[in-house]
Amino acid sequence: MKLAKRPPVYKTPQERDGLRTASRFNAELMDYLRPFVKPGISTEELDKLAHEYTLSHGHTPACLGYKGYPKSICTSINEVVCHGIPGKMLLKEGDIVNLDLTTIVDGWYGDQSETFIIGEIPDQTLKLVQVTFDSLYLGIRTLKPNSSVFEIGKVIFDHASKFGYSVVRDYQGHGIGKQFHQEPGVPHFPHPSSQNDILKPGVCFTIEPMLNLGGYETSLDRADGWTVRTRDRMLSAQFEHTILMTEDGPEILTLTKNGPQEGHKFE
């Protein structure tokens, strides 16, 4: 995704309800998968579970076939930053894995991701996951109607920097609605051009910081054309919510019932 060049799409009250419904189902899907994310399961099995659950409820997996993507969800393990393709690899003790889910409900998109801890993990990995999770909520809570996108990137970047982590620059959040990706682009570092992107009531977008234990540089797998890894192969973590800016401030549309809530401490 390129940085925003065009005005965002503002949603009417009725359209906002469509986004709420789609995001609510997407969060339900995340909670459905949650008990299965444990040592010994393959990411391919998780994809199958997500695919079948989505279809059984009459909805559409947004990722499947999107620009040729071959699966229904993204599963990014350890040094994989994003867009990891589900396969036969089994999750094992000590891994972290990000599940990125997007579904289409009555034409509207819901999008979110969550990093799961598999069994016991090293302290430095746990800290990375915690700081990434906290940075997501710092990005959300810094906002009010007519805030700029720049404010999101600054608060996330500043928080990550306190702990010596880098923020991925090649991939970012995005507007969302009846299209998967709309304006505005949402970089998670203070890009100067994002000062001009104003979040007026009615705009819907994702915040999805990707923090790395090492450098911010990434590399794309040339073989599959999708999997993005840290260039130095150090760990990466990510959390994502879909956010609707309302007249009263940001509304988180993809909150789960059983997942980590704001202020959660990982153990």
State pLDDT tens for residues 21-40: 999 999 999 999 999 999 99
Q: Which two tokens stand for residue 92?
A: 């094992």
Q: Which tens digit of pLDDT belongs to each residue from 238-256? A: 999 999 999 999 999 999 9
How far is residue 4 CA from its own chain's centroid? 18
Which residues does the chain have with pLDDT short of 70?
A: 1-5
CA distance linking residue 129 with residue 32, whole number of Å? 21
Q: Which two tokens stand for residue 103?
A: 């579904």
In the chain, the domains with their CATH numbers are: 13-252 (3.90.230.10)
CA distance linking residue 36 with residue 48, whole number of Å? 12
Please give the mean pLDDT across all residues of the chain: 97
CA distance linking residue 220 with residue 110, whole number of Å? 25
